[in-house]
């Protein structure tokens, strides 16, 4: 098995193919790590096994900042577009509006191990958790990579989760068939990790909104090929009958927003998802998690109140943030396709990249 695979640059983002999604300007690297402080780390597992089995899976960790995440929480929310998914931590995240752990992504059967690994990492960082103060709410999401990955082998361990967190950096995140995205399939093509960002201007300041997706959804005939200057749609005859699939969408921003406003932002990610051709299938877990780095909330305080700046809902900047959420989601999905590589998995199944051709728009 390979350990952490960290790459600072990835070729062939869709903008390099001449494909411009939306009208807002991108961040410096068109990546979720354009939001200051946000870090991403991957561990990728890629190993053939006896009798046609194959380990093609991994872990991805998203950290909202480089400090102690439990002692310095950030505002957060989630939105379930379609709830056929297995996650941890979303109930408390929505109830309190706070994120206090890394956001962990992996395959369906590895949620327990990854959650446990992130928990042990946090306990090592913060000895007071569960002793002199409260317990910890670890947030983990998943998609089912069982067509390429021998998911029943339970290859992902607690240690892989800890390694992904330790590998996290503010460099442009590796995309495609890496980390949790190693075994994912999107629209019948190789999917996985994709990212994008937008800048939002407000008078004398600029905000950034970034997205990272784990794409594993859609039938090939659903892909909005014409929208992206694609060639002919090909049949699914070369793939086993697909599951409905899933997507995890992680949004990060430095705009000052509370948890209620963040949930409104999260809902707009569905617009970008739909643009690609998704109709939120019955068995698809389509889940959005969003956080703001604008303010850190101390776990303990001697004062009874908190003074926090938030944007006004009726200000035009909110509509621009809504637009940005749709744009980054759509582009991150396309980047997960354009950044992927031909991948062979269990029983010799090979999944090829989407035929994304240079175009002018």
The catalytic residues are 246, 284, 286
CA distance 255 to 234: 42
Question: What is residue 5's DSSP assignment?
Answer: -
Q: Answer whether 108's CB lies under 8 Å from 56's CB.
A: no
Closest CA to 174 of 35, 33, 64, 327: 33
CB neighbours of residue 70 within 10 Å: 19
What are the φ/ψ torsions at residue 265 (nearest 5 degrees)?
Answer: -60, -45
b/e per residue 126-139 (b: at least 16 CB within 10 A)? beebeeeeeebbbb
Give me the residues paired with residue 290 across strands: 77, 251
Strand order of the β-sheet with 72-83 is 98-99, 72-83, 285-298, 245-253, 205-217, 192-202
Q: Cα-atom radius of gyration of the chain, to the nearest Å?
A: 19
């Amino acid at each position: 098995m390979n350990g952490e695979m960290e790459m600072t640059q990835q070729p062939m983002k869709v903008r390099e193919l001449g494909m411009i999604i939306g009208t807002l300007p991108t961040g410096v690297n068109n990546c979720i790590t354009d939001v200051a402080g946000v870090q991403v780390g991957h561990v990728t597992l890629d190993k053939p096994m006896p009798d046609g089995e194959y380990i093609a899976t991994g872990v991805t960790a998203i950290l909202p900042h480089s400090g102690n995440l439990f002692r310095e929480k950030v505002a957060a929310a989630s939105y379930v577009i379609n709830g056929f998914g297995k996650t941890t931590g979303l109930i408390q995240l929505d109830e309190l509006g706070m994120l206090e752990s890394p956001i962990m992504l992996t395959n369906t059967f590895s949620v327990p191990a990854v959650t446990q690994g992130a928990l042990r990492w946090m306990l090592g960082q913060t000895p007071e958790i569960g002793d002199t103060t409260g317990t910890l709410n670890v947030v983990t999401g998943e998609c089912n990579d069982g067509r390429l990955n021998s998911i029943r082998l339970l290859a992902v361990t607690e240690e892989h989760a800890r390694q992904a967190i330790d590998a996290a950096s503010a460099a442009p995140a590796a995309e495609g068939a890496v980390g949790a995205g190693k075994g994912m399939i999107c629209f019948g093509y190789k999917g996985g990790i994709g990212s994008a960002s937008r800048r939002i201007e407000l008078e004398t300041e600029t905000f950034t909104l970034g997205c990272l997706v784990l794409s594993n959804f859609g039938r090939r005939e659903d892909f909005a090929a014409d929208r992206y200057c694609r060639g002919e749609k090909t049949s699914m005859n070369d793939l086993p009958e697909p599951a409905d699939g899933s997507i995890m969408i992680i949004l990060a921003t430095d705009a000052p927003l509370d948890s209620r406003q963040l949930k409104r932002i999260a809902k707009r990610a569905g617009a970008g998802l739909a643009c690609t051709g998704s109709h939120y299938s019955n068995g698809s877990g389509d889940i959005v998690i969003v956080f703001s780095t604008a303010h850190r909330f101390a776990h303990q305080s001697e004062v009874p109140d908190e003074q926090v700046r938030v944007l006004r809902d009726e200000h035009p900047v909110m509509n621009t943030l809504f637009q940005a959420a749709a744009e980054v989601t759509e582009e991150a999905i396309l980047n997960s396709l354009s950044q992927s590589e031909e991948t062979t998995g269990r029983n010799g199944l090979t999944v090829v990249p989407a035929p994304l051709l240079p175009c002018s728009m």
